[in-house]
Amino acid sequence: MNEQQRRVLTLRDTDINAAIYRCCNDEKLYGKLMRDFLTDKTMSELMIAVQVASWDEAFTAAHALKGLAGNLGFVPLMHSTGKLVVTIRGGRTLEIPEAVTEVRSCYRDITDAIRQYLSYEE
Amino acid sequence: MRKVLIVDDAKSNRVILKTILSKDYDLIEAEDGKEALTIMHRNYRLLSAIVLDLMMPVMDGYEVLSAMRDNVSLAQIPVIVVTASADDDSRVKALALGANDFVTKPFHPDIIRHCLRNNISLRETASIMNAIQKDKLTGVFTREAFFSKVSELVRDHGSGTFVLTCFDIDNFKLINDQYGAVVGDKILRGIGTNIKTIFEELDGVCGRISGDNFAGIYPNTPEAEEFIEKNRDRAMLSAARDINMSYSVGRYVINDVTLSASSMYDRAYIAKQSVKGLYDRHLAYFDEDMLNNLVQEQQITNEMDAALKKKQFEVWFQPQVNSANGAIIGAEALVRWRHPVRGLISPGIFIPIFERNGFIYELDKEVWEQTCQYIRKWIDEGLDPVPVSVNISRCDIFREDLILVIEGLVERYGITKNLLRLEITESAFETATDHIVTVVKQLIERGFTIEIDDFGSGYSSLNTLKDVPAHVLKLDMKFLNNSGHDDRGGNIVESVVRMAKWIGMSVLAEGVETQEQADFLKSVGCNYIQGYLYARPMPEAGYLEYVELLQKETSMQTLETIEHLNNRSFWDPKSIDTLIFNSYVGAACVVEYKNGHLELLRTNKKFSLEVGSMDVVSELTHLNQPIRKLSESYHKVLLSCITKAIETSKEETCEVSLKKLNDKEEVRFLVAARTIANTNDRWLLYCTVSNITAQYRINEALTETNGMLTLLADSIPGGIATYEYKNGDISIVYYNDGFCKTLGYTKKEYDELSKKSVSSCIFKEDFHIIEEQLVNLLGGTKTIECVYRIQTKQGECRWLMHRAQIISRRKDAIHINSVFLDVTDEYTKETNLSTGDTSKKCDSTGGEA
């Protein structure tokens, strides 16, 4: 991982060291997992579930997204999905749109960052 | 390398987990719960652990945990749950469903590694412990583990709170032998599975102690007891549905917590052994007496060999008496143990122990030898001993040298075989009957007298009487005692005595203690008695004194039969005699006669047909109400015929009439009776019965007709007579009142006269007249008529007109019918008219009379 790549992720509060440690210090694997994240359908499943107000499915998707984000070190996304999980589990449906907005924002940030990261690949 | 299954729908998560764990484990992946379960079912023996995500599509982690918990094999596999959620609810839920540990996302590689390693290690240790604690075959605790659990429970809960039970299958070895070890193991496995569920339900534990011995411990409460009672049959017997088996249970209420678990088990085991072999009891609770008995048994077992060598076993004698005449007929040799410390030990204590441990044969041989020694001694002292019976135990019969030993003894001591009678207890015949019957027959062939001992004390079988060709039946009075003095018990005893006698056995009642019993026995024909009423068992000196006072009877009275009658074969339903009786003779029956009392014992099919219906037969054979349908007069006729047959020892006949049931019609029978056997005052008679009703009816009609004719003949004036002409002589065979009257006699007077001579009243001068006419008649003249003089009883001369004709002409005799008319008046008139005709005068010489 070059400096540019590290900077772009750090800007999005990504816990790069922990994530790479989790991948047994295999930066290449980490890069691959990030690339996979761009095509992962969990986020789109979450959005659909929220739009149709299917809270059980939204909960499952948010939970999965939280785990994924946590493992890859995407801390803001992990926190925002965590909040969404708590909101849905608590049945506080009025607060869900705001929580979803925050998740969407964090997701957009981290996916932008990953794309930049990938563009800096040598 | 241990195998671990990773279950997560997110590929990235799986990749990370794989990266973390691949160095240490062989990893399998599943994307959802459903796929995970499929893999688990295929690989449950190989999987060391499962890393399971909770939130998954198709089937989430909770559902997987739930499914695993319901499956015994999968439930053993440790599960590490991973989730992004850190809340307590999901943790509690997952742990409640059987998850072993919990890790959260994002993963911490070291935490995950340690967590996995620890859980796998724990499971493996548990498996090793299980392998030591759990019986491989049945899945319940091993002996050591069970005892350890029992100790823990008792220590924690105290005295009286638990019951230790032990149980086994009766004769499990036979099941193994008969069906094979595979089936045997299957049964044990089934029992293990069943009892494990039952004891776990009661918060108890169970274990397999050895072989088919299982044990369990459960709370000492009525509810637990009820639950056990309700389920034990199913638990034990459903394991072998097609095999008929039983089991025995012993229980110990743990009230001494200082005992080791093993000693507690021993107490339950002792209780269980106390019901082994009992037909009607399969369960017993331990009590201290059981332990005392066991201790006593051990003491006796320890001392028995030495006691035999030191001649501590003594033979005593109990006399056997004929109550009819007070004579001694024999004695039974009974063993006593004179123990140097404990004094005289009753055989009731040591015999059962010796029977169990096999020492009985050694003891029996000692008793037989001592008995032979005594008999020899008595002979040498000129005492003329009566026979002595010795016991042969069931175990002895299976000894190959039994016959050699007994024969060897009588030869060595030079005594005749009739002096040593052999008693075999009836219970010996319950099993292995063929073998025992063979041995008994061999002993009989060698000249020994065999007695069946204790008949009536257990589950007596009529088969024993039928199959065992013994000489004497020893009837145990316990039978009467148990049934009271009711008619039923008495009737059965009477029937047994009778049956035994008719198959040629003598009957001796033992255990007779009261005069009432002796009187009853006498009344049913059992005079031979052994019991306290006459004498207790006594040592030799006392016995000899007793014998000296009594008259001796060296042989027992047995059945006397007619020549060629095989009485056993006669009563055997499969014998040729029975076949002949049933199929090849006419209506026949066998009756017993005793003191004016007749009873039907046996009838054949033709008898049933002839006599009418089975109802009649059953009426006839009704116990103590014999021949009921016979009227009193015919009963007398029959009895008279029977007693005559007994007196003459020949066939005697009589005719009796019997009314059919529901039928007013009388049937006439000709009964022919003949004695075939006799014992004491009882006689057995074989009777043939022929229905002669038709002939009887004809005879009756004839008699009636004759009566009418006689009446008619007697009422007419004049005389009628029938003569028989045979070999040149003539005799009168019939005459009516008128005939006698004509001659001046009464019928009785003429009866006397006619025996002397037919022609006694005819005038000598007129003989030629009748002679000439007789020649004419025999020569072919159809009817003759003549007049001659006769002299009446009063000396008066009368003229008789005699008209005669032949009524039957047979080869050997001719019958002539004659009619007589007194024509004196007519002749007197004629004489008056012509006085010169002297031929018509009645003043010549009179008749012979």
**Residues whose CB falls within 8 Å of the CB of residue B87, separated by 6 or more in sequence, listed in order:** A86, A89
CB neighbour list of residue B749: distance below 8 Å, 6 or more residues apart? B740, B793
Opening angle at CA B809, ends B807 and B812, nearest 5: 135
Q: Which residue in B12, B57, B106 is closest to A36 by CB distance?
A: B12
Among A36, A71, A81, select the one facing B106 at the smallest CB separation. Answer: A71
DSSP state, residue B459: S
**Distances from the Cα of B301 to the Cα of B277, B338, B352, B496, B528, angstroms:** 21, 15, 11, 39, 37
CB contact under 8 A, A60 and B107: no
Length of chain B (residues): 849
pLDDT of residue B537: 94
* Contact assignment for A66 to B60 by CB distance below 8 Å: no
Of B55, B57, B105, nearest to A71 by CB-CB distance is: B105
Measured between CB atoms, does B438 come within 8 Å of chain A? no
Q: Which of residues 17-56 of B touch A (CB under 8 A)?
A: 19-20, 53, 55-56
Q: Give the closest of A26, A33, A85 to B12, CB-based.
A: A33
Q: In what order do the strands lie in the sheet with B783-791?
A: B729-735, B719-726, B814-822, B797-809, B783-791
CA B429 distance to own-chain centroid: 12
Q: Tell me which residues of chain B, numbers 96 to 155, contact chain A at a CB-CB cutoff of 8 Å.
A: 105-109
What is the per-residue pLDDT for B617? 43
Q: How far apart are CA A101 and CA B370, in angstroms?
A: 114
Strand partners, B336: B314
Q: Which residues of B320-354 are buried (b: 16+ CB within 10 A; e: fewer)?
A: bbbbeeeebbbbbbbbbbeeeeeeebebeebbebb
Chain position carrying tokens 């041989």: B365
The confidence score (pLDDT) of residue B715 equals 77
Residue written as token pair 């009179």: B846
Q: Do B105 and A66 touch (CB under 8 A)?
A: yes
Residue B220, pLDDT score: 93
Q: Find the CB nearest B107 among A22, A29, A40.
A: A22
Between chain A and chain B, the number of residue pairs with CB atoms below 8 A apart is 77
CB contact under 8 A, A23 and B87: no
Q: How far is B116 from chain A (nearest CA, A)?
A: 16
CA dihedral A49, A50, A53, A57 (to 10 degrees): 40
The b-or-e profile of B539-550 (16+ CB within 10 A means b, else e) is: eeeebbebbeeb
The residue in chain A having the minimum alpha-carbon distance to the alpha carbon of residue B89 is: A89
Residue B712 has which token pair?
Answer: 């008619």
Q: Residues A110, A74: contact at Cβ < 8 Å?
A: yes
Closest approach of B108 to chain A, Cα-based (Å):
7
Residues 6+ apart with CB under 8 A from B739: B719, B720, B721, B750, B820
Interface with chain B: mutation pick from A66, A80, A110, highest number of B CBs within 10 Å: A66
Interchain pair B84, A89: CB under 8 A: no
Helix (H, G, I), strand (E, B) or coil at B763: strand
If chain B, 849 residues long, is cut into consecutive pieces of 10 residues, what is the mean pLDDT of each piece?
89 90 90 91 86 86 89 84 80 86 88 90 77 85 89 84 92 85 90 91 91 94 91 83 85 89 90 84 89 85 92 95 87 94 90 87 95 95 92 87 94 94 80 78 91 74 72 81 59 78 84 86 84 92 89 68 63 68 76 80 73 47 46 80 89 81 71 83 83 87 86 80 85 85 83 67 85 87 89 85 89 88 81 55 48
Q: Which amino acid is at B823?
A: V
Helices (H), B158-282: 172-179, 181-201, 222-237, 261-274
Alpha-carbon distance values, B72 to B76, B97, B820 (Å): 7, 14, 127
The answer to whether B442 and B474 are in contact (CB under 8 A) is no
**Chain B stretch 496-515, residues whose beta carbon is closer than 8 A to a beta carbon of chain A:** none
Burial class (CB in 10 A: 0-12, 13-18, 19+), A68: buried
Cα of B842 vs its chain's centroid, Å: 92
Nearest beta carbon to residue B105 from set A26, A29, A67: A67
Residues of A with CB under 8 A from a CB of B: 18-19, 21-24, 26, 29, 33, 36-37, 40, 42, 60, 63-64, 66-68, 70-73, 78, 81-82, 85-86, 89
In contact, B388 and B372? CB cutoff 8 Å: no
Q: What is the rounded end-to-end Cα distance, in angstroms, of chain A?
A: 9
Task: Write down the H helix ranges in B524-584.
Answer: 540-549, 567-571, 576-579
pLDDT per position as a tens digit, A15-66: 999 999 989 899 999 999 999 999 999 999 999 999 888 998 899 899 999 9
ipTM entry: 0.83
pLDDT of residue A111: 94
Are B87 and A89 an interchain contact pair (Cβ–Cβ within 8 Å)? yes
- Give me the pLDDT at residue B623, please: 35
Rounded Cα gap, residues B392 and B371, in angstroms: 13
pTM of the model: 0.50
Q: Enter the tokens of residue B737.
A: 């009142």
Name the pairing type of β-strands B729-735 and B783-791.
unpaired
Q: Are B559 and B497 in contact (CB under 8 A)?
A: no
Helices (H), B582-668: 605-611, 614-621, 632-648
Residue B614 is predicted with a pLDDT of 39
| Peptide bond before residue B109 is cis, with ω within 30 degrees of 0 | no
Q: What's the pLDDT score for residue B625?
A: 43
For residue B423, the model assigns a pLDDT of 93
Of A23, A27, A63, which to mutate for an interface test with B (greatest number of B Cβ within 10 Å)?
A63
Q: What is the reported pLDDT for B156?
A: 82
pLDDT of residue A44: 93
CB-closest option in B16, B85, B87 to A71: B16
What is the total residue count of chain A?
122
Per-residue model confidence (pLDDT) at position B400: 86
Reduced to 3 states (helix: H, G, I; strand: E, B; else coil), residue A5 is: helix
| B624–A contact, CB cutoff 8 A | no
B76's tokens = 């053993």
Residue A110's pLDDT band (boundaries 50, 70, 90)? very high
Alpha carbon distance B171, B246 (integer Å): 8
